[in-house]
Structure 1
């Protein structure tokens, strides 16, 4: 499954995460700001554009490579994963459905680091049920007029453009009347809500995006009219692999902290790593993390092989979303009172893990996807 290049990518990503990201993870969490110089280093490393084709300034890498990079970065800082979104949600719509002109303008801009993208499907009244979106795009000559509100948008406060999903046919039933548009942030009628104060991944900016009579040229229609739901689901399928990789990385980071702490913590005259209960906990945690790793890279391998991977991506996302929450909980428990103090990395990892089982499809949605495919014999 893995080639020499993958091991090299893991080595480079791990060294970068350990040397550049880990020393600043607490600072990022405390200030809620992502350091500009660290972002520049990420861009220079090209970890943010692994999956973008070389023609548009990216690495042209496979999804196994993107998953490796995501895992290694997440193991040191959950917030930093949102800095490499061009590999998944912000870049995916353009990579898979954009035309040459759109890719040249927006995808290349992200690869160069001059543009920040976002992905807008969720609304105040439409989360898991995408068919309930209220954002509307009305045809007006050669343009579309967009009105609506998107919420919980990662990079919302700082994005230069966003892929917006809106109804172009309000009479169509279900999801058949949804289309996708590339909307630039400096266009008239585009505004942003407040930067949300979140439980975790505090170095990632999140806000609402408000569209009030935003005029979008027809050139910024992504794909064809009515193809929006297909685009959305296609991008989410691949995005679930990277979110699963994020969960895997957070789980590995939590396990690493547990091993480190239990070796150092002395109770009853010896390291608590010497107690059988601790050893059993570590063994169980390590086994579960490795199970998650197999699910993630199996899904990535299937995608890279051109095979259907919807079920496998959902399984990886479901398992690893729950996994990072479980492993961070158990690691914090092994830390005892120290785990409740912000000086220890496990406190941050514990908070950062909570979002993974929620965004890009909750664990419950993944179960629906998985069970539906199992019943269908797929």
Structure 2
């Protein structure tokens, strides 16, 4: 049944079935091993295989190409639940699905037929290769260069902080095809780049948190790629990248809700178990005030994510809504993780407690998919555009 023929009741039932499946998967296959895998910084190969079986690598890919065809609103709820158990595995599918989303919106039918079914099964997995050693926020400053050579392009340069860089096999690769173009984004082009001769991984990047998922540097040395792998025309690379970032920001916002909820849950549980001065610590006003702020932040963040997801469901431009959701939800995650650690006291600093991992994971959310400072600029710009005088 395609989404266009679904009633609201059909969609609600589909969502319930999907979320039930995800929750069973998390409880059986992720929660029991997350602590050890995360502390060992070990790639969760068995979990990835389970995710393939569940169809999560095709979560938002249209059904006609073998995906689940989930609406962004349902996808956001899936990510919230995953992030609440172990945030790293949500990143394994997020970057991959941004690549698929870009192809779905901008690729040719031949490209979709060739790649999307393999993306949906997880046969081909990968992500988004944008950031370079000397540029992240200012994407127009990238220097990786693609030169046309007959029916191919030859690419030289490097990318860094690329999720799925080691275990992934295909990436939406943003390059320059004209270093002199003005404005600079007119010289940017995007390709679907599969690993092969000239495309290597130089090293795995060690991180404070967000462990388990492989973040890597990619190197391109005379890497030859067919022109048929170009997404859109030359000069449309920046537009392709931006088209995928709304889904990416929704994902990171949903992760923020998941981490904020997990930190709250840990704090609520511990505050009832821990006693001081003859009573559980939640009865102390200092702790009670923290709990009230934490649950309020979490619920507000969830509502912002739902609003942004609903706009994306309708196919509307939603950088304003997604920006607000990403900004607020990720800050909520950071604040809740910090407050939960403080409620736990010394135990919160122990690696034996989940809150220690949440405290290390949360800061990434305020940086990834555009820093929260950039989100504020985007929000303000759209606010003025919507309210001219």
- When normalised by structure 1's length, the TM-score is 0.96
- Tell me how far 1:4 sits from its aligned partner: 4.1
Aligned to 1:178: 188
**Contact 1:136–1:166 (CA under 8 A) maintained in structure 2:** yes
Matched, 1:141 2:150: yes
**Contact persistence 2:66–2:120 (CA under 8 A):** yes
Give SS of 1:52's match. Answer: coil
> In structure 2, how many angstroms separate the alpha carbons of the residues matched to 1:303 and 1:167?
29
Deviation (angstroms), 1:242 = 0.7
| Structure 1 residue 354: Cα displacement | 1.2
Q: What is the alpha-carbon distance in structure 1 between the residues aligned to residue 369 and residue 55 of structure 2?
A: 24
- 90, 100, 110: which is aligned to 2:119? 110
Which of 345, 349, 352 aligns to 1:340? It is 349
Distance 2:79 2:362 in 1: 14
Aligned partners of 1:332 and 1:339 also within 8 Å: yes
User: Which of 68, 71, 78 is 2:77 aligned to?
Assistant: 68
Aligned partner of 1:85 in structure 2 is 94
Cα drift, residue 87 of structure 1: 6.3
2-structure distance, mates of 1:87, 1:6: 21
How many residue pairs match? The answer is: 377
Structure 2: gaps spanning 5 or more residues? 1-7
Task: After TM superposition, give the deviation of residue 86 of structure 1 in Å.
Answer: 6.0
User: Aligned match of 1:307 in 305, 308, 316?
Assistant: 316
Q: Compare 327-336 and 50-59 and name the one that shifted more.
A: 50-59
Deviations 1:188-207 (A, max 9, x none): 21111211111111111011
Conserved? CA contact 1:143–1:215, under 8 Å: yes
Aligned CA-pair RMSD: 1.6
Find 1:27's aligned residue among 36, 42, 45: 36
Contact kept in structure 1, 2:157 and 2:221, CA below 8 Å:
yes
Instruction: Tell me how far apart the structure 2 counterparts of residues 286 and 256 of structure 1 sit (CA, whole Å).
Output: 9
- Using the alignment, how far apart are the partners of 1:166 and 1:107 within structure 2? 22
Contact 1:52 1:87 in 2 (8 A): no
Tell me if the contact between 2:189 and 2:236 (Cα under 8 Å) persists in the aligned partners.
yes
Q: Which deviations, in whole Å up to 9, do the C-alpha atoms of 1:323-362 show, x marking residues without a partner?
A: 1111100000000000000000000111111111111100
CA contact (8 A) 1:147 1:214 kept: yes
| Residue aligning to 2:53 | 44
Structure 1 outlier segments of 4+, above 4 Å = none
Relative to the length of structure 2, the TM-score reads: 0.93
SS in 1 for 2:369: coil
For 2:207, the equivalent position in structure 1 comes to 198
**Counterpart check, 1:328 vs 2:342:** no
Consecutive unaligned residues of structure 1, counting only runs of 5 or more, are none
The C-alpha deviation readout for 1:214-247, integer Å capped at 9, x for no partner, is 1111110011111101011111122100111111
1:282, CA displacement in angstroms? 1.0
